[in-house]
Amino acid sequence: MLNKVGFSIFGITTIHNIMKNYMKKTRMHILASTILCLSIVSCSDSFDTSFFDKEIEDPEFDISISGLPIGYINYSAKELFEELNEDLTVSTGTNDIISFSYSQTLDGSGNADFVSVDDQNFNGDFDLLASSGLVGSAPYVPGAVPGDEVSKSFKDIKELTKAGGASLDVELTSADFSNGTFTITLATTTQAKTVVEFTIPSLQRKDPNNPGSYNRTFTLNDKSGPDQNSITVDLNNYTFDFTFDDLNPDSNNGVNNIAVKLDATVTFEAGDVVSSDDTLTYTVSLNSPEVESAEGDFKQSAFNVNGQTFDLDFFNDIGDGSLTFENPILTLSATNEYGFPVGINLDGISTNASNNNILIITDDSPTDDNIEPIAGGTGTYAIIDAGLISGATTSDITLNSSNSNLSDLLSEKPTEFNLQVSGTSNPNSPTGNTNFFNVNNTLNVSVDVELPLHVSFDDVTFNPEPIDLDLDDDIQDNAKQLSLRVATKNTIPFNGTILLDFVDDKGDDNESNDDVLFSKSVQAIVAAPVGNDGFSTYTLDANNVLKDANDNVIEAHVPMNGDDFAVTFSESEIALIGDATIVKLSIVFDTDSNGDGTATAVKVKSTDQVRIDLALKGDLKINTNN
């Protein structure tokens, strides 16, 4: 904030009126506005000139050569960077170091069909009367078969397949279906009454009051009523057990199997045309099955992870110059409800920089960091641990300068981070997995990029939005010269130079058509020295006393421009100000804290601060009639 020293004499609040129209802007960088002393003076609502009454002559007012103190600005380092970009998230981390933070979320939606079963048709064909003693085909004669009845049992195990008949890529042991039907159809070539008890051991009823396998009795060639040879049943009332690999005795060491059992009783009546070649056939059809949950080994299957792109706002305002983040951190924090680990292919992380724009893992040797090379392939997985039956698990995968080229990526000053990643179940584990799946499971991955200000800057230029000017003629008519004196006391380990271009903007999108009327610059901030730990060794106390590590008092830095005044507007420049419609602003930082021309890696605390004291000198005419 600007703390103003006020003045008032002879109603000379007109200074405020003269200056208040210098600049109109929705939002501008406060530090830049101090260099444009016009806007600073316009902050004063009144003047108290009791200490310089002798210098006042009516109707003109002459500010003395020593300069008029008009206030000061005090910025913490955190506030300074917040001012540079209003969309930038500035936080503090370990040791109170300032960090720029960016977050984005990846989600595992779109995996409702991760486990799916295509429509199926299973057929069985059994010799019904081959062992009955009947020979050939003829009308039945009572007594030809003892008791005029034959009983026969059949069992069959069928394999789930893909739509084209190929074997599944996964090994299912069980599944529940939310939608779909199965249809059983029976047929026989005999004319004799046939009663079939059809059992599907693989199909278990969910009804707790009626547990057990699906069982249904069908009657074919019924002489006393209609045949019952077909039925359709909703899948959502049953759970599939795909492990049967044998029946009588039952064995459950299989996968992807459906077991059926038929117990048929044929009752002969005189005149029934029967044959030793008569058969019993069945068909079981699964139609439009939708898996709700499943268990088994899902192998290494593609898992959808929605890609995202997010802006790196910090770099949007950086122009020329180079910078290096010494310890950037990218963290993938995943919450996984799925009952299988998910591998995120890190090769899908990139930036929009022209060069050096692909994330590369440089050290995947640790066994406890959830980062593994892709077995039998190229690239690297970030491994998200499997969820548990009892609930979700969380995994944190950290990428930094020790295990990746993240620092090099950011040194290219990208403005976008692209997370177009792919996922794989059971990464690096092609077989022997015990997995579960439910359509209501979720996978959420928070991607957090943290850029601690442990950095080196080499003429890094920030370019905020231009400042709009809307001036009247008062300044040209009443000022011959204006100067601003700047004195800084700084504990931030940055040098800061401000460049100002006063421009006549032609109003089109072609900047080459704009006229730069004149330019100004001032080295407003001199870097505080740093210790071996990279932190500033200067402190600024509540009494505005700057001291070094040995408690020695350090004098304020006063940028030199002739007679100690940092920025001076000559009469000719003041005449041009009226033609200026915008001021283009650049702020150049470097971390040459030792003054040897080398950018030093420094650490910036949120409590580091800079105080800028301001004084105004000018040759002004103040008309009491405004």
Neighbour-count burial of 604, counting CB atoms closer than 10 A to its CB (0-12 exposed, 13-18 middle, 19+ buried): buried
- Are 302 and 424 a contacting pair, CB within 8 Å? yes
Confidence bin at 468 (pLDDT 50/70/90): confident
Max mean pLDDT among 28-42, 201-215, 508-522, 606-620 falls in 201-215
CA–CA gap between residue 233 and residue 175 (Å, rounded): 16
Strand 7-8 relative to strand 47-48, pairing: parallel
**What's the confidence (pLDDT) of residue 466?**
80
Of 318, 309, 492, 347, residue with least CA distance to 411 = 318
Average pLDDT for the chain: 83
pTM above 0.95, yes or no: no
**What's the confidence (pLDDT) of residue 10?**
22
Longest C-alpha distance within the chain, in Å? 144
**What's the confidence (pLDDT) of residue 236?**
94
SS (H, E, C) 189-256: CCCCEEEEEEEEEEEEECCCCCCCEEEEEEEECCCCCCCECEEEEEHHHEEEECCCCECCCCECCCCC
Query: Which residue has better confidence, 347 or 508?
Result: 347
CA–CA gap between residue 57 and residue 278 (Å, rounded): 130
pLDDT digits (tens, 9 = 90+) for 575-594: 888 788 888 878 788 888 77
- Least reliable range by pLDDT among 59-68, 157-166, 177-186: 59-68
Burial 566-590 (b: 16+ CB within 10 A, else e): bbbbeeebbebbbebbbbbbbbbbb
CA–CA gap between residue 449 and residue 286 (Å, rounded): 48
pLDDT digits (tens, 9 = 90+) for 345-389: 998 999 999 999 999 999 888 888 899 999 988 889 999 999 999
pLDDT at 529 over 80: yes
Of 313, 323, 345, 320, residue with least CA distance to 332 = 345
Rounded to an integer, the average pLDDT of 607-622 is 78
Confidence bin at 319 (pLDDT 50/70/90): low
Of 51, 10, 40, residue with least CA distance to 623 = 10
DSSP state of 561: S
Q: How many residues does the chain have?
A: 626
pLDDT at 314 over 80: no
Q: Three-state SS for 337?
A: coil
